[in-house]
A and B are shown apart, each in its own frame.
Chain A
Amino acid sequence: MTKKSSDGVGRRGFLRRAAIGAAAFAPATAAAQRSTDTDQPRQASQVVPSDIALRVKALESLLVEKGMVNPADIDATIDLYEHKVGPRNGARVVARAWVDGAYKKRLLDPATATQAIADLGYSGGQGEHMVVVENTPQVHNLVVCTLCSCYPWPTLGLPPAWYKSSPYRSRAVIDPRGVLKEFGLELAADVEVRVWDSTAEIRYLVLPERPPGTESMTEADLARLVTRDSMVGVAKVKRSEGGRP
Chain B
Amino acid sequence: MNGVHDMGGMHGMGPMKYDPNEPVFHEPWEGRVWGFIRGLGPWTRGRFGASRFDLERLPPDFYLGASYYERWFGMLVNRLLRGGLITPEELASGKADRTRPAPTQLPAPARPLAAPGARVDNVPVRPAFKPGQRVRARNLNPEGHTRLPRYTRGKVGTVVRNNGAFALQDTDTNGIWLGGRAQPVYTIRFTAQELWGERSSSHDCVYVDLWEDYLERV
Q: Which of B19, B32, B70, B86 contacts A3 (CB 8 A)?
A: B19
Q: How far in angstroms is the closest Cβ of chain A from B191?
A: 11
> Which of B52-60, B122-130, B172-180 binds A?
B52-60
Taking the complex as formed, is B15 at the interface, i.e. its CB lies under 8 A from any CB of chain A? yes
A192-B192 Cα distance, complex, nearest whole Å: 11
Assuming the A-B contacts A61-B95, A63-B36, are A56 and B73 also in contact, with contact meaning beta carbons closer than 8 angstroms in the complex? yes
Q: Which of A17, A60, A192, A200 contacts B117 (CB 8 A)?
A: A200
Q: Which of A20, A23, A66 contacts B96 (CB 8 A)?
A: A66
Q: How far in angstroms is the closest Cβ of chain A from B195?
A: 7
Taking the complex as formed, is B102 at the interface, i.e. its CB lies under 8 A from any CB of chain A? yes
Taking the complex as formed, is A233 at the interface, i.e. its CB lies under 8 A from any CB of chain B? no
A189-B62 Cα distance, complex, nearest whole Å: 39
Closest to A172 in B: B8
Q: Which of B62, B67, B94, B161 contacts A61 (CB 8 A)?
A: B94
A129-B13 Cα distance, complex, nearest whole Å: 31
Is the Cβ of A31 less than 8 Å from the Cβ of B62?
yes
The interface bits of chain A over 214-230 (1 if a CB of B lies within 8 angstroms of the residue's CB, else 0) are 00000000000000000
Assuming the A-B contacts A147-B6, A170-B9, are A20 and B118 also in contact, with contact meaning beta carbons closer than 8 angstroms in the complex? no
A164-B24 Cα distance, complex, nearest whole Å: 13
Assuming the A-B contacts A52-B29, A63-B36, A69-B35, are A167 and B13 also in contact, with contact meaning beta carbons closer than 8 angstroms in the complex? yes
Q: How far in angstroms is the closest Cβ of chain B from A136?
A: 13
Q: How far in angstroms is the closest Cβ of chain A from B103?
A: 6
Number of A-B contacts (CB under 8 A): 294
Chain B: number of interface residues, binned into ranges: 35 or more
B149: chain A residues within 8 A (beta carbon): 146-147, 197, 199
Is the Cβ of A65 less than 8 Å from the Cβ of B96?
yes
A176-B73 Cα distance, complex, nearest whole Å: 31
Dominant secondary structure at the B interface: mixed
A177-B67 Cα distance, complex, nearest whole Å: 25
Is the Cβ of A147 less than 8 Å from the Cβ of B187?
no
Which residues of A1-38 are within 8 A (CB) of B? Answer: 1-4, 6, 8, 11, 14-15, 17-25, 27-28, 30-31, 34-35
A77-B34 Cα distance, complex, nearest whole Å: 8
Which residues of A150-177 are within 8 A (CB) of B? Answer: 157-158, 160-162, 164-174, 176-177
Is the Cβ of B17 less than 8 Å from the Cβ of A1?
yes
B207: chain A residues within 8 A (beta carbon): 194-197
Taking the complex as formed, is A58 at the interface, i.e. its CB lies under 8 A from any CB of chain B? yes
Assuming the A-B contacts A66-B102, A78-B35, A195-B206, are A183 and B67 also in contact, with contact meaning beta carbons closer than 8 angstroms in the complex? no
Which residues of A180-224 are within 8 A (CB) of B? Answer: 182-183, 189-202
Please list the 9 inter-chain residue pairs (A to B) with the smallest Cβ-Cβ separation, ordered nearest first: A74-B35, A146-B8, A58-B94, A200-B209, A24-B74, A78-B31, A170-B10, A56-B29, A166-B13
